[in-house]
């Protein structure tokens, strides 16, 4: 699929089919054992991404690309950052806005749309947790190239790693009715992605960070930094 076609499918899934699921998953509400592993995995990944950024972000402008229901957004704002929180799903952005503590609301600008929109401006840092996992290698390279040229500091993101377990889980997912399927994750190998970034002319160096694997959550953290 093209970037635009994939983005449209992601929007439809998160803005209609999966809105309530993600609202519950990212809350304190009880969930199934499988979803509990996803919740714990996401918590671990979010902590890792945040560990790559300064503890004091006062005066920094940070893009939370694919903010979802706003967990990363809230933590960035709590560190003092001015946060631009963008997601393709207006429904998820609405949940994130409602959940943000009142004392942090002056620091966050919420918007729904394309996280790559150049009109969002320039940033000191960018986080993109699990928002690029549905895209092809060339699309990720182009996305990172555009974001990196507007980012002064760190660009920390995740991809789906090519592992036997993840591929098996993906095949199992194809057994579900089409209406219940999430957009297909595209697994990547770091070395190939690094070469694709070079071809795209992305500035900076790609660093492979820690992989988080907790039950049904498997994600690879990476960083593009000057």
Beta-carbon count within 10 A of 162 CB:
14
**Residue 179 burial (C-beta neighbours within 10 Å; 0-12, 13-18, 19+):** exposed
Beta-carbon count within 10 A of 203 CB:
14
CA distances from 67 to 32, 58, 198 (A): 23, 20, 27
User: Tens of pLDDT along the chain (226 residues)?
Assistant: 789 999 999 999 999 889 999 999 999 999 999 999 999 999 999 999 999 999 999 999 999 999 999 999 999 999 999 999 999 999 999 999 999 999 999 999 999 999 999 999 999 999 999 999 999 999 999 999 999 999 999 999 999 998 776 666 656 655 444 544 567 889 999 999 999 999 999 999 999 999 999 998 999 999 998 7
pLDDT for residue 162: 87
pLDDT for residue 171: 60
* Residue 65 contacts residue 127 (beta carbons within 8 Å): yes
SS3 content of the chain, % helix, strand, coil (to 5): 45, 20, 30
Q: Which two tokens stand for residue 83?
A: 């946060």
Which residues on neighbouring strands pair with residue 63, listed in sequence order? 84, 126
């Amino acid at each position: 699929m093209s970037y635009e076609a994939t983005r449209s499918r992601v929007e439809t899934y998160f803005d209609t089919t999966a809105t309530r699921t993600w609202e519950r998953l990212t809350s304190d509400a009880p969930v199934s054992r499988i979803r509990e592993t996803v919740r714990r995995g996401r918590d671990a990944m979010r902590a890792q991404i945040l560990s790559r950024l300064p503890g004091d972000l006062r005066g920094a402008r940070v893009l939370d690309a694919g903010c979802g229901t706003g967990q990363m957004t809230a933590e960035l704002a709590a560190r003092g950052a001015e946060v631009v929180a963008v997601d393709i799903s207006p429904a998820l952005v609405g949940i994130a806005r409602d959940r943000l503590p009142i004392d942090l609301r002056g620091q966050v600008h919420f918007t729904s749309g394309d996280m790559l929109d150049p009109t969002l401006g320039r940033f000191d840092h960018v986080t993109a947790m699990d928002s690029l996992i549905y895209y092809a290698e060339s699309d990720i390279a182009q996305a990172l190239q555009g974001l990196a040229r507007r980012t002064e500091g760190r660009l920390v993101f995740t991809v789906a790693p090519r592992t036997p377990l993840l591929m098996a889980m993906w095949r199992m997912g194809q057994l579900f009715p089409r209406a219940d399927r999430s957009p297909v994750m595209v697994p990547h190998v770091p070395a190939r992605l690094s070469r694709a970034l070079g071809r795209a002319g992305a500035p900076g160096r790609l660093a492979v960070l820690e992989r988080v694997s907790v039950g049904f959550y498997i994600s690879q953290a990476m960083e593009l930094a000057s």
